[in-house]
Amino acid sequence: GGTSEKPGTTPNPPKGLPPAAADGSRMNATFVTLARNTDIWEIAKSIRNVEDRFNRNYNYDWVFLNDAEFDDTFKKVTTSLVSGKTKYGLIPKEHWGFPEWIDQDKAANVREDMRERKIIYGDSISYRHMCRYESGFFFRHPLMLDYEWYWRVEPSIELYCDIQYDTFKYMADHGKKYSFVISLYEYVETIPTLWDSAKKFMQKHPEHIAEDNSMQFLSDDNGKTYNHCHFWSNFEIGDLNWLRSQAYLDFFDALDKDGGFFYERWGDAPVHSIAAALMLKKDELHFFNDIAYYHVPFTHCPTGEQLRMDLKCHCNPKENFDWNGYSCTSRYFELNGIKKPEGYEKEQ
Ligand code: GDP
Ligand code: MN
């Protein structure tokens, strides 16, 4: 590595020590976090994890997005923790609110009904704006237009193993566009008509459906019904240009017009997942076994003892969710004809 500092990055270690940054070029990539000012200490924890396990060696930028202005504490603390450049974006009102075609009374009745039925976040307006924003807008925020790759990070996550290579470069070099670490079944109460909308889209836009798609991940009857499997989108490393493609934008617009973000409680996880499984080729998806991850209440701890030792992992393999009955990851392996990692039987 060179000895000169890159502008806008945290200085490398004090004189005499080797630079922290890994050699080589960098991808046009950024971390991205949607957060409120009150999330500061929980996102600080996440950043510290990401920096310690990966980014201190790569110094990638970090974009923070919010529907209100970030305060000075949020900006000061996050800038001190991130080794790359930090950028703070305000979400435009048009991207965080009710579209004009939504019937407010109908939406309010749904929230009241979901509150009585105790559906998680069922009575929340802001959660719905958040899910719609993550589904259709974060990748076209002006600050994101400078980048080709993103890694989404939420508050309170943990990383348990060293990441010893550039994950963005891995995606690019292997033709990957979307990735995950945890998959599971969605609460059906939050998405009763999502699949009807997806099917309508498939009929209207056959040109957007990949021939070698992952329909088998989503459906057990060739697309007639949805099995509710989805990739958990609080972790994502992906291709921003795919999200900005006509195919994805047509998909989002079709769903948005049907109103399920407000008349139901569609999450961005099933929305991204259905899009990725139908519009990308199988081999454009990637499962990162070696990225050990926690977001309440699930853990992905890599299968394979030698791998965990090599990567200095500190997760308990017994907490790994992958081979649990509520995970869809076995199904993903099977449909792709991939061998499950060494040792999966004894670790389940
Ligand atoms: P959960 O993981 O589904 O329980 O939802 P979270 O509370 O973690 O929210 C998902 C992401 O959206 C996190 O990055 C939150 O910080 C962010 N978020 C949720 N609600 C809001 C909001 O009203 N405003 C902003 N700016 N961010 C939000
Ligand atoms: Mn979360």
pLDDT digits (tens, 9 = 90+) for 152-187: 999 999 999 999 999 999 999 999 999 999 999 999
Q: What pLDDT does residue 296 have?
A: 98
For the stretch 108-115, contacts whose Cβ atoms lie closer than 8 Å and that sit 24 or more positions apart, written own/partner, are 110/262, 110/263, 110/264, 110/265, 114/189, 114/265
Q: To which H or E segment does residue 242 belong? A: helix 240-243
Cα 7 to ligand 2 centroid, rounded to whole Å = 32
Q: What pLDDT does residue 13 have?
A: 52
Give 156: exposed, middle or buried? Use CB within 10 Å, 0-12, 13-18, 19+: middle
Q: What pLDDT does residue 11 have?
A: 46
Q: How far apart are CA 280 and CA 259, in angstroms?
A: 24
Ligand 1 contacts CB of residue 154 (under 6 A): yes
Q: What pLDDT does residue 7 have?
A: 45
Enter the pTM of the model.
Answer: 0.94
| Coil, strand or helix at 30 | strand
Ligand 1 contacts CB of residue 135 (under 6 A): no
10 pLDDT more than 70: no
Strand extents, DSSP E, 38-133: 61-66, 86-90
Ligand 1 contacts CB of residue 46 (under 6 A): no
At CA 287, angle to CA 284 and CA 289, rounded to 5? Answer: 150
Q: Residue 147: how many CB atoms within 10 A of its CB?
A: 20
Q: How far apart are CA 231 and CA 277, in angstroms?
A: 10
pLDDT digits (tens, 9 = 90+) for 333-348: 999 999 987 778 776 5
Q: How far is CA 292 from the centre of its chain?
A: 14
pLDDT digits (tens, 9 = 90+) for 208-233: 999 999 999 999 999 999 999 999 99
145, 269, 313, 325: CA torsion to nearest 10: -160
Token pair for 321: 């969710």
Ligand 1 contacts CB of residue 36 (under 6 A): yes
Cα 265 to ligand 1 centroid, rounded to whole Å = 14
- For 57-68, the DSSP string reads GT--EEEEEESS
Q: What pLDDT does residue 3 have?
A: 40
15 pLDDT more than 60: no
| Coil, strand or helix at 32 | strand
pLDDT digits (tens, 9 = 90+) for 68-105: 999 999 999 999 999 999 999 999 999 999 999 999 99
Atom of ligand 1 nearest to the CA of 296: 2
- Identify whether 211 is a catalytic site residue: no
> Angle between the 194-204 and 246-258 helix axes, to the nearest 10 degrees?
130
56 pLDDT more than 50: yes
Q: Residue 109: how many CB atoms within 10 A of its CB?
A: 12
Q: What pLDDT does residue 12 have?
A: 47
Q: How far apart are CA 73 and CA 63, in angstroms?
A: 16
307, 312, 314, 319: CA torsion to nearest 10: -10
1 pLDDT more than 80: no
The one catalytic residue in 51, 134, 158, 236 is: 236
Q: C-alpha distances in angstroms, 291 versus 53, 138, 150, 287?
A: 10, 23, 15, 9
Q: State the DSSP code for 327.
A: B
> Angle between the 125-136 and 246-258 helix axes, to the nearest 10 degrees?
160
Q: What pLDDT does residue 348 have?
A: 57
Cα 335 to ligand 1 centroid, rounded to whole Å = 32
Token pair for 308: 């965990």
